[in-house]
Amino acid sequence: MKKLYEYAETWDGLLALVTDGVPEGPHLDFKRDAYSDSRKPLEKREADKEELRRDATAFANGGGGLLLIGIAEDGQGRACSVPGIENAAAHENNMRDVLSRSIDPPFTKSALRVRTVFDPQNATKGVVVVEIGESKVGFPHAVQGKSDAPLDFWIRTDKSKRRMTYLQVRASFQADEVQAAQQRLDSMALVEIRKLKYAIRSASWDFGKMVPLLEPLRIYVADLNFGPPVHSEVISAAGEVISAPRAGLTPEAARAAVDIIDEALPVYSLVGRAPEPPSDDDVALFRQASDYGWGLVYDGVKYLNSLPVISTGARLLGRLLRYCYLNEVKEVQDEVLEHFERARQVAKERRREHAIKVLDFFQHDALDDREGPPVPMPDGLEWVILGRDVPNKKKRPQKRRPRQR
């Protein structure tokens, strides 16, 4: 399935809304008919203008969204046809004019885009696309009433809009203060993390000293009060262990670093899609972690010839691939798949057959639909996939001593 904004780029994209069965949601709304149609009575047209402003400000206060006029929906809120609207260009101009008035604060040019995607078979008919950006922190949008009427604050939730409660409005105005406090908290944490990062880097070659320095980093990923910049710096600090000279990297050090990186990643299910798509910050953390996973599998194959190190890196890449596969983060998914393929090529050149089997397992497990039996572990390599340094030794049966007579 495409991203929402990709559907609204072309007429074929709009038709794909129907074939893909895309439903309305917190960031998408369909309207069959145009707002403020000239054939309606004046009173109804004025009410439509108010409704348009409410819809647009609700999207802005709810994180932004896409309003498509000329799309019909079925009883479950899914796009079912694209009839478009006649005289679409005139409606586009009218909507742009309506949304430029009686909204406080006014939409900026970057926060509001109104355009028309025309039907290639009819030059006057099309779908009017309204793209609404998220309200700036501390500046929620409101609809201005007539004369001394109070400002009217709306917010989009799921498939509908509703008036914001007093607490929601209050929190919106205080959001800039909250953001400033968050930045101060993150800044203090970043200073401490960078001290640890420097200490880890200074202990290079001595993994006995490096690994204990990772433990304090857990504080910053366990505390939910810290934001993405802190988590990114934690990943970078743990990555100092992986980035140390290749020759001496131990499986214990690799696992300790990856454990911290894994804890610093945003929490997503490994069995189902998240209710909301990953944010840009989440995607950035995925990409950052994938670089360290790639470094481990590459060094493990080419320089260390260490299955435990290869498996540790492949496990991290597999987890990232699973997140991206389930949540359709295509760009990172493709990068991780490329990491797996490049590592396999190096393993083939080095004739590391066991390494190829380990890489294949973690990739296939990440892309498994979970409906059938689990992906089988390669025979004889269960020990390394489960995170052990050496295979379990089978105990030889002891011979009984003959009884003394």
Confidence of residue 196 (pLDDT cuts 50, 70, 90): very high
Rounded Cα distance, 18 and 105, in Å: 35
* Residue whose C-alpha is closest to residue 355's, from 296, 292, 291: 296
Strand order in the sheet with 65-69: 28-31, 65-69, 122-132, 112-119
- Give the model's pLDDT for residue 263: 94
Half-sphere exposure of 396 (CA within 13 A, CB side): 3
Question: What burial class does residue 323 get, using C-beta atoms within 10 Å of its C-beta: 0-12 exposed, 13-18 middle, 19+ buried?
Answer: buried
The dihedral through the CA atoms of 339, 340, 345, 346 has a sign that is positive
- Give the model's pLDDT for residue 246: 64
What is the signed CA dihedral for 45, 47, 52, 54, rounded to 10 degrees? 170
Q: Taking residues 29-33, what's their average pLDDT? A: 93
Residue 36 dihedral angles phi and psi, to the nearest 5°: 50, 50
Confidence of residue 351 (pLDDT cuts 50, 70, 90): very high
Rounded Cα distance, 329 and 1, in Å: 11
- Give the model's pLDDT for residue 291: 95
Q: Taking residues 290-296, what's their average pLDDT? A: 96
pLDDT over threshold 90, residue 403: no
Instruction: Write out pLDDT tens, residues 70-82.
Output: 999 998 899 999 9
- Give the model's pLDDT for residue 175: 61
Rounded Cα distance, 36 and 63, in Å: 26
Instruction: Show the domains of the chain with their CATH numbers.
Output: 4-164 (3.30.950.30), 176-385 (no CATH)
pLDDT over threshold 50, residue 399: no
Q: Is the peptide bond before 83 cis (omega within 30 degrees of 0)?
A: no
Phi-psi category of residue 347: left, alpha or beta, with phi > 0 → left and psi -120 to 50 → alpha? alpha
Rounded Cα distance, 302 and 320, in Å: 22
Q: Taking residues 342-346, what's their average pLDDT? A: 96
The dihedral through the CA atoms of 85, 88, 90, 94 has a sign that is positive
The answer for residues whose C-beta is within 8 angstroms of residue 164's C-beta and 6 or more apart is 61, 140, 153, 154, 155, 172
Rounded Cα distance, 238 and 245, in Å: 14
- Give the model's pLDDT for residue 180: 65
Rounded Cα distance, 178 and 81, in Å: 43
Q: Taking residues 334-350, what's their average pLDDT? A: 96
pLDDT over threshold 80, residue 176: no
Q: Taking residues 177-181, what's their average pLDDT? A: 63
Could you give the C-alpha distances from 194 to 226, 232, 240, 284, 402, in angstroms and in order?
15, 11, 11, 19, 67
- Give the model's pLDDT for residue 243: 85
Confidence of residue 178 (pLDDT cuts 50, 70, 90): low
